[in-house]
Amino acid sequence: MLVQSDTGDPVVMFWTPPTAPSGLDIVNSTHNPGDSFPVQRITTVQYTFTNSLGSRRGTCSFNVIVTVPCPQEVYLEGNLTFPQTRFGQTAQSLNLCPQLTVRAGMPRATRDCVGDLFQPQWKEPVILNCIEGDVTENLDELANMTVTSENAEEVAMETASLTSDASAISPAAVTSVAGILEKLAVANNTSPEVAVQIVEIVNNVLQIDNETTLDEASRDNSPSRIVLALESFVTALHNSGAGNFTEVQSSVAVQALSLPRRALSNGLGFASSLNDSGTDDLTDNQISVFTEEDLELETEASIFLPAEILDSISKGNYSDQVPISFFLYQNSRLFRSPTLNEATRPEKEVRRAVGSRIIAATVEGVKINNLRMPVTNVFSLLNASGGDETVDSAECVFWDFILSNGNGDWSTEGCRKESLPNGIIRCLCDHLTSFAVIVDIHGQQNHLFLDVVSKIGCAVSVVALIITLVTYLYSKKLRTKRPQQILISLCFALLALYLIFLVGIEATASRGGCTFVAVLIHYFTLAAIAWMAVEATDMYLLFVLVLKAEVAHSLLTLLKASIIAWGLPLVVVVIILAADYTQYEHPDYCFLKPGNAIYYGQILPIGLVLLFNFVIFTLVTRQLSCDRMTNGSSSDKSQREERIRRLQNAVAISVLLGLTWVFGLLSVIQAASFAFQVLFAICNSLQGLMIFVLFCAMNQQVHQVWREMFPCQRDAHRRGLVSGTGLDSGTRGGIPLSSKGTKTTDFSEASQTQS
The pLDDT, as a whole number, for residue 100 is 64
In a domain, 141, yes or no: yes
Rounded Cα gap, residues 305 and 319, in angstroms? 19
Which amino acid, one-letter code, is at 534? V
Look up the CATH number of the domain holding residue 734: 1.20.1070.10
Rounded Cα gap, residues 293 and 359, in angstroms? 16
Whether residue 403 is found in the same domain as residue 467? no
Number of domains forming the structure of the chain: 3
Do residues 471 and 702 touch, judged by C-beta distance below 8 A?
A: yes
In a domain, 119, yes or no: no
CB atoms within 10 A of CB 49: 19
Whether residue 421 is found in the same domain as residue 503? no
Which amino acid, one-letter code, is at 509? A
In a domain, 539, yes or no: yes
Backbone angles phi, psi at 38, to 5 degrees: -70, 155
Whether residue 428 is found in the same domain as residue 547? no
Whether residue 468 is found in the same domain as residue 382? no
Rounded Cα gap, residues 418 and 433, in angstroms? 19
Backbone angles phi, psi at 470, to 5 degrees: -60, -40
Q: Which residues pair with 583 in a beta bridge?
A: none
Backbone angles phi, psi at 359, to 5 degrees: -125, 145
Sequence-distant (≥ 6) Cβ neighbours of residue 212 within 8 angstroms: none
Half-sphere exposure of 4 (CA within 13 A, CB side): 14
Nearest to 571 by CA among 514, 611, 527: 527
Which domain range does residue 570 map to? 454-754
Do residues 171 and 211 touch, judged by C-beta distance below 8 A?
A: no
In a domain, 502, yes or no: yes
Whether residue 461 is found in the same domain as residue 415? no
Whether residue 633 is found in the same domain as residue 744? yes
Do residues 138 and 169 touch, judged by C-beta distance below 8 A?
A: no
In a domain, 400, yes or no: yes
Rounded Cα gap, residues 467 and 471, in angstroms? 6
Measured at the alpha carbon of residue 734, what is the angle toward residues 729 and 738, in degrees to the nearest 5? 55
Using the 3D structure, point to which of 16, 38, 67 is the last residue of a domain: 67
Whether residue 613 is found in the same domain as residue 683? yes
Rounded Cα gap, residues 597 and 599, in angstroms? 5
Count of positions (residues) in the chain: 755
The conformational region for residue 82 under phi > 0 = left, psi -120 to 50 = alpha, else beta, is: beta
Looking at residue 85, the DSSP 8-state letter turns out to be B
CB-count burial class (<10 Å; 0-12, 13-18, 19+) for 571: exposed
CB atoms within 10 A of CB 718: 12
Whether residue 421 is found in the same domain as residue 467? no
Half-sphere exposure of 534 (CA within 13 A, CB side): 31
Rounded Cα gap, residues 213 and 337, in angstroms? 14
The pLDDT, as a whole number, for residue 78 is 58
Question: HEC string of 496-534?
Answer: HHHHHHHHHCCCCCCHHHHHHHHHHHHHHHHHHHHHHHH
Query: How far is the CA of 322 from the CAs of 244, 716, 730, in angstroms?
Result: 11, 90, 89
Rounded Cα gap, residues 177 and 696, in angstroms? 73
The pLDDT, as a whole number, for residue 647 is 63
Half-sphere exposure of 733 (CA within 13 A, CB side): 9
Question: HEC string of 456-472?
Answer: HHHHHHHHHHHHHHHHH
Q: Give the DSSP per-residue string, 256-312.
A: EEEEEGGGGTT-EEEEEEPPTTSS----GGGEEEESSS-SGGGEEEEEEE-TTHHHH
Q: What is the pTM of this model?
A: 0.55
Do residues 379 and 424 touch, judged by C-beta distance below 8 A?
A: yes
The conformational region for residue 350 under phi > 0 = left, psi -120 to 50 = alpha, else beta, is: beta
Do residues 408 and 360 touch, judged by C-beta distance below 8 A?
A: no
Rounded Cα gap, residues 603 and 599, in angstroms? 5
Half-sphere exposure of 708 (CA within 13 A, CB side): 13
Nearest to 699 by CA among 725, 655, 738, 754: 738
Whether residue 604 is found in the same domain as residue 728? yes
Whether residue 435 is found in the same domain as residue 483? no
Using the 3D structure, point to which of 67, 84, 119 is the last residue of a domain: 67
Q: Which residues pair with 329 in a beta bridge?
A: 252, 358
In a domain, 127, yes or no: no
Rounded Cα gap, residues 654 and 533, in angstroms? 9
The pLDDT, as a whole number, for residue 721 is 45
Give long-range contacts, CB 8 A cutoff, 24+ apart: 510-513.
511/418, 511/585, 513/590
Rounded Cα gap, residues 496 and 482, in angstroms? 21
Looking at residue 55, the DSSP 8-state letter turns out to be -
Do residues 256 and 327 touch, judged by C-beta distance below 8 A?
A: no
Rounded Cα gap, residues 566 and 523, in angstroms? 9
Do residues 654 and 528 touch, judged by C-beta distance below 8 A?
A: no
Using the 3D structure, point to which of 384, 413, 440 is the last residue of a domain: 440
Do residues 643 and 628 touch, judged by C-beta distance below 8 A?
A: no
Query: How far is the CA of 663 from the CAs of 402, 458, 659, in angstroms?
Result: 34, 17, 6
In a domain, 566, yes or no: yes
Rounded Cα gap, residues 72 and 92, in angstroms? 11
Whether residue 269 is found in the same domain as residue 237? yes
Whether residue 558 is found in the same domain as residue 646? yes
Do residues 205 and 244 touch, judged by C-beta distance below 8 A?
A: no
The pLDDT, as a whole number, for residue 501 is 84
Query: How far is the CA of 43 from the CAs of 7, 67, 582, 622, in angstroms?
Result: 19, 12, 80, 119
Do residues 524 and 497 touch, judged by C-beta distance below 8 A?
A: yes
Look up the CATH number of the domain holding residue 382: 2.60.220.50
Rounded Cα gap, residues 106 and 566, in angstroms? 85
In a domain, 237, yes or no: yes
Backbone angles phi, psi at 354, to 5 degrees: -75, 120
Nearest to 503 by CA among 488, 524, 489: 524
Mean pLDDT of successive 10-residue stretches along the chain, which has 755 residues? 78 85 79 87 87 78 88 79 89 83 79 86 84 80 90 89 89 95 92 92 94 89 94 89 89 92 85 78 88 67 87 62 92 88 54 88 83 89 59 83 87 84 84 85 60 80 90 84 86 90 80 89 91 83 62 68 93 92 80 82 87 82 66 56 65 64 54 59 75 83 83 56 40 33 38 36
